[in-house]
Structures are given as structure tokens and as C-alpha cells.
Amino acid sequence: MSHNSAKSIPEGATELANSKILIEAMMSEMRHVMRLEFEQEYEDVFPEETPHGLPLIRGIEHQIDFVPGATIPNRPAYRSNPEETKELQRQ
């Protein structure tokens, strides 16, 4: 009993796979071009040379002092009416 692998591949599957590979390559190229366009548009914002590694360790620049035993308020950041709250929860 011989197994013919050509019969096990559905008709059109090869074309579909090739199309998928082509689309992925085109999308990759588009992302590359868009990145280059973005970098050119904002080249004055980016430094000439990017730093390597992590920044140097500095002293504490700021801190938040907590009161021992105090409870942290657990409230929404913004007040909203009940309809707005329902809409936010629905999303």
C-alpha cells in the first residue's frame, strides 16, 4: 500500500500557503518602509547615537512617603455619572 502525499494535500492549499507567505513578506516590507518614513519625519527628535545598556545609577530623585497604617484610597480616578460608568464597564 503506497501513500501518495499529493493526494493528502487539499487542492489549492499550496496556492493559499504561497499567498500567505507573499502577504506576510509584503506586510513586513510595509512596516519597514513606514518605520523609515517615521524616522525621517522625526529625525530631529532622535539622538545621533543611541546609548548602550542601562543608564547610570543615580541618587533618589523623588519619593512618596506613606503613613504607616494608613489605607490607600481606592477610588476611580475620575468621577462619572451612572450612565458613563455603565458605558465604561461595557467597554
Residue 4: its pLDDT value, please? 52
pLDDT level of residue 2 (50, 70, 90 thresholds): very low
- Residue range of the domain that includes 34: 11-46
Q: For residue 88, what are the contacts with CB-CB under 8 A and spacing of at least 6? A: 80
- Which phi and psi (to 5°) does residue 66 adopt? -100, 145
The two most distant CA atoms of the chain are separated, in Å, by 80
Residue 40: inside a domain, yes or no?
yes
Q: How many domains does the chain have?
A: 1
Q: How far apart are CA 67 and CA 73, in angstroms?
A: 12
Residue 55: inside a domain, yes or no?
no
Of the two residues 76 and 83, the one the predictor is more confident about is: 83
- pTM: predicted TM-score of the whole model, two decimal places: 0.38
Residue 39: inside a domain, yes or no?
yes
Whether 6 shows a pLDDT value over 90: the answer reads: no
Whether 3 shows a pLDDT value over 90: the answer reads: no
